Amino acid sequence: MLRQLSLVLLCCAGLTACGESGGSAGSDIKLVGEWAKIGETDNYLYYDDPASIKKTDDTVVTLDLFDYKSAQTEGGSTPTLSKATEREYDCQNKKSQPLKSNWYSGQMGAGIVVRSAGTSNRWSAATLGTATGGLLKAACGNS
């Protein structure tokens, strides 16, 4: 019995390790907070974790989650149902950039990490009326 249990645990560990592709750049994202729904599009609902907000003098970093209504193959061949991103905002200039992202096999960040990506170093406008604009408003408040 102990031998069978050891084998099962070893297989589970192997499957978890195999499920993480694209390196470990974004694998240290921790999904522990309460998600606050910010908005919805035809393709996904998007959330912010208010407990994850970290403010510095010039920027705000927070965690957001896109929960897809149907499986996506964005940037890879394995279908995903959600994506969590640690994102940095320049509140004054209304810009954002993703720092790291994890794509998950299940909704709301459940399941295994299918793919990860690290810093893009590419700021883009966070226009009001878009998902990123709504997330900027949640992160920055009235800044």
97-140: per-residue pLDDT in tens?
999 999 999 999 999 999 999 877 889 999 989 999 999 999 99
10-38: per-residue pLDDT in tens?
333 333 333 334 444 445 677 767 899 99
What pLDDT shows up at residue 26? 44
Q: Which residues are registered as beta bridge partners of 47?
A: 37, 65
Half-sphere exposure for 21 (CA within 13 Å, toward CB): 12
The CATH number of 21-140 is 2.40.128.710
39-96: per-residue pLDDT in tens?
999 999 999 999 999 998 889 999 999 999 999 987 667 899 999 999 999 999 999 9
**Cα gap 80→58, rounded to integer Å:** 33
What number of other Cβ atoms are within 10 A of residue 119's Cβ?
14
**Cα gap 79→82, rounded to integer Å:** 10
3-class state of residue 104 by DSSP: strand
What pLDDT shows up at residue 123? 94
What pLDDT shows up at residue 121? 82
What b/e string do you get for 3-31 counting C-beta neighbours within 10 Å, with b at 16 or more? eeeeeeeeeeeeeeeeebebeeebeebeb
Q: What does the domain layout of the chain look like in residue ranges?
A: 21-140
Would you put residue 116 in left (φ > 0), alpha (ψ -120 to 50) or beta?
A: beta
What pLDDT shows up at residue 142? 65
What pLDDT shows up at residue 113? 93
What pLDDT shows up at residue 25? 45
